[in-house]
Structure 1
Amino acid sequence: MFLVSCSGSEEEGQSSFSFWRRGDDREKVDIPASFTEASARKMGQQLDSIFTHLHKRKGFNGTVLVTKYDQVIYKGAFGYADFYRKDSLSTETAFQLASVSKQFTAMAIMMLKEQGKLQYDDSVQQYLPDFPYKGVTIRQLLTHRSGLPNYTYFSDELWPDRKKPLTNQDVVHLMVQHQPKIFYTPNTRFDYSNTGYCLLAAIVDEASGMPFSTFLRERIFERLDMKHTFTFSDDLTAYMGKFATGHTRGRQKRTTDYLDTVLGDKGVYSTVEDLYKWDQALYTQKLVKRETLEEAFKGSRTEKKKTEDYGFGWRIKALESGDSVVYHGGLWHGYTTYLMRNKKDHSALIVLSNLPNGSLQYLKDVQRFLYPIQPDTATIKDTKPAKVASAQL
């Protein structure tokens, strides 16, 4: 295991990560001769310098894990889980994933599709009979082409008791009762929608016969030995491990509110080490068949001018190096998250933060280091930051 760690948990990481070397159904990757223990260690040291710089100079507060050819070449933890208590972070600290949660919702839908319990082109009414908007399909919810209004906006007006938690079923009821105006006719264009993934979670409830949170825990998290991954609500209060508190830009604690109990578009908590297990599982057929997963990474946008595409819970884009990657970012109640995967070299960049101070705007510089246009020329820059795409929930 070629690992550089600044968190002091190196030995623990090695024992859990070795699990992924087993199994014959694993998708193979050609490892070049240039990828040696020495080169991997050097890359890890350089990454440590980059993230130490971001921590000291840009205020990065969070955890990070980087892989190459399935090997963890770097992991680290910088700053505090709770600024008031000065509780140091570790790579086993759980963070609210915000919109990175959407890929788990999409996986639940794909699993149910393989089981014959739903089809992508089924209408929402087949699972939520009172749903008032006609012509909306599961596929459109997955790819943000439904045209539905965003529940995080209309609930501000339609849910006056902010002390009462809002559930996915409550969101559906508000849409049935008040029928807030749609943004556009379904399947005419892409428009990022948290409502779509809230509805997908409600559909998982109906199609599977079990609560969405239970489905994720039993069918995904436990199956992949993701012991520090859970959903908001009761799971949060019962969790015995360490989790990070969301903060404002000024390092004040963020408190939970009535929107936190809506799942599907957000609401999953996890660690960088558990997300590595998730990343590695996607090179196997432990959850769904390989051809099923491939559809999640196919684009759906039809606009002539677009800089990136969207699959099922994943954004798709080309890096400056020419590599095509899938990724997602998230921002919610003091948490900023990012997960990027490159199938070409089985690499991943996983970054979790509980301080939305703009430090993750520099992730493009990290990407340039990992995937240089010309070898050995990428350096961390202290100039104008390159903004991270999709920093919204």
Structure 2
Amino acid sequence: MVFLSAKRLLYRCLPASLFCLLLLSCQESGKKKKFWGKEEETKEEIAIPASFTADSVRKLGHQLDSVFKHFHKRRGFNGTVLVTKYDQVVYKGAFGMADFYKKDSLTVETAFQLASVSKQFTAMAIMMLKEDGELRYEDSVQQYFPEFPYHGITIRQLLTHQSGLSNYTYFSDKLWPDRNKNLTNQDVINLMVAHQPRPYYKPNVRFDYSNTGYSLLASIVEKVSKKSFATFLRERIFEPLEMKNTFTYSPDVATLTGKIATGHTRFRQKRTSDYLDTVLGDKGIYSNVEDLYKWDQALYTQKLVSKETLKEAFTGGILNKKKKQEEDYGFGWRLKPLENGDTAVYHGGLWHGFSTYLLRNPKEHSALIILSNLPNGSFSYLQEIRKFLYPPHPDSVAQNQKLAARTRR
């Protein structure tokens, strides 16, 4: 049986009179709707192949369940997973403990620190302010912080990691006087103004991954919006998208009740927070796989920004790239060729006991979301998972059968 969309199933089940009323309503709703003062068009449509049936969905779900059970049992994977194809969730699961000391089990509702997967939300905040006419990508950092000592750095260069700035997580270890006092984004700027740590490169020379750059972007969001970064994200992204289990880090996070994972060392010892956790923009967002699915789906609409603005976020901007097949970087997203020839946008993260990964294949509206609170090297299987989901030859199932068979040993 060919898998039908929810809309098509609904139409089949409606009486003729109700169908006519619904059709008139849809014609009216075909006009653009308002979302946070912006115009929202209907969700981007995609052709679903006849081979994507209810049976194929069930089969893929069973295969993925076997694969991740194998990774949990044999490779120590501890975390949650959600996989989609053609906008439909085909698999989600939870494996292991949210807290090994308390013996709390993980669920798909458990929130994890996203680490550098947070960067895509920072980039979105900047893009939203750009669409609001509040800033330009070519603005210099000095336009927002006149005392900033490094000249020639633009917002675009911060977004694409081409500022050349040194890493605040390193120079703060030397320059921050009291490790018991939390570091803030403004403190990072103050340290740079007072001590002027030497940059790694001149701006706009080469790609050099920069947490400092994304902490500065969060500060620019605060300066322009006149709101805290956490408040801006909550009001403009999390609440409109009904991401009810997504929030930013604060010193009170340890006292929150609810399903929140604890970060661990590779030896399952609890990882405690430190003075760097309170810097936001480069990290610091907590979320779960179900909320990240909502985020993924929103990126096929214009609820947050226009298609034109979002397209630039997924366009590579690395200078002096030597090979066409090399990875690239947009605004908070890495760009990677997949084994089947499609181009994925993705990001990974690693911070204080958490490992995270979010990959999207816009061509087929699919996603792979993996969150872990035990960075024990178990993410080394990601290449195998990508080949499983996106085999080099789509008409051949040999790769899938090989991996699935291995899990039964």
Q: TM-score, normalised by structure 2?
A: 0.87
The correspondence for 2:148, drawn from 131, 152, 167, is: 131
The answer to whether the 8 A contact 1:166-1:258 is kept is yes
> In the alignment, which residue of structure 1 is the partner of 2:176?
159
The answer to whether the 8 A contact 1:66-1:72 is kept is yes
> In the alignment, which residue of structure 1 is the partner of 2:293?
276
> In the alignment, which residue of structure 1 is the partner of 2:161?
144
Aligned length in residues: 363
Corresponding position: 1:361 with 2:384: no
The amino acid of 1:44's aligned partner reads: G
The correspondence for 2:304, drawn from 269, 279, 287, is: 287
> In the alignment, which residue of structure 1 is the partner of 2:21?
none
For 2:76 and 2:321, the matched residues in 1 are separated by 38
The 4+ residue runs of structure 1 with deviation greater than 3 A are 237-240
Corresponding position: 1:314 with 2:337: no
For 1:56 and 1:76, the matched residues in 2 are separated by 14
The answer to whether the 8 A contact 2:41-2:302 is kept is no
The answer to whether the 8 A contact 1:317-1:326 is kept is yes
For 1:110 and 1:125, the matched residues in 2 are separated by 19
SS in 2 for 1:247: coil
Q: How far did 1:276 drift?
A: 0.2
Question: In 2 relative to 1, CA 382–134 (structure 1 residues): closer, same or farther, beyond 3 Å?
Answer: farther
The correspondence for 2:110, drawn from 83, 87, 93, is: 93
> In the alignment, which residue of structure 2 is the partner of 1:333?
352
For 1:210 and 1:180, the matched residues in 2 are separated by 28
The correspondence for 2:124, drawn from 107, 112, 117, is: 107
For 1:171 and 1:382, the matched residues in 2 are separated by 51
For 1:206 and 1:169, the matched residues in 2 are separated by 11
The answer to whether the 8 A contact 1:144-1:196 is kept is yes
SS in 2 for 1:52: helix
Q: TM-score, normalised by structure 1?
A: 0.90
For 2:122 and 2:146, the matched residues in 1 are separated by 21
Question: In 2 relative to 1, CA 249–29 (structure 1 residues): closer, same or farther, beyond 3 Å?
Answer: same
Structure number with greater Rg is: 2
Q: How far did 1:121 drift?
A: 0.4
Q: How far did 1:303 drift?
A: 2.0
The correspondence for 2:390, drawn from 357, 371, 387, is: 371
Structure 2: state its 5+ residue gaps. Answer: 4-32, 34-39
Question: In 2 relative to 1, CA 348–219 (structure 1 residues): closer, same or farther, beyond 3 Å?
Answer: same
SS in 1 for 2:403: coil
> In the alignment, which residue of structure 2 is the partner of 1:210?
227
> In the alignment, which residue of structure 1 is the partner of 2:342?
323
The answer to whether the 8 A contact 2:63-2:404 is kept is no
- Percent of residue pairs identical: 71
The answer to whether the 8 A contact 1:146-1:186 is kept is yes
The amino acid of 1:208's aligned partner reads: S
For 1:119 and 1:197, the matched residues in 2 are separated by 16
> In the alignment, which residue of structure 2 is the partner of 1:189?
206
For 1:205 and 1:182, the matched residues in 2 are separated by 24
Q: How far did 1:205 drift?
A: 0.3
> In the alignment, which residue of structure 2 is the partner of 1:233?
250
The amino acid of 2:397's aligned partner reads: D
> In the alignment, which residue of structure 2 is the partner of 1:247?
264
SS in 1 for 2:204: coil
> In the alignment, which residue of structure 2 is the partner of 1:344?
363
Structure 1: state its 5+ residue gaps. Answer: 3-21, 384-393
> In the alignment, which residue of structure 1 is the partner of 2:403?
380
Alpha-carbon RMSD across the aligned residues, in angstroms, is 1.6
Deviates more, 1:54-63 or 1:159-168: 159-168
SS in 2 for 1:277: helix
The answer to whether the 8 A contact 2:140-2:152 is kept is yes
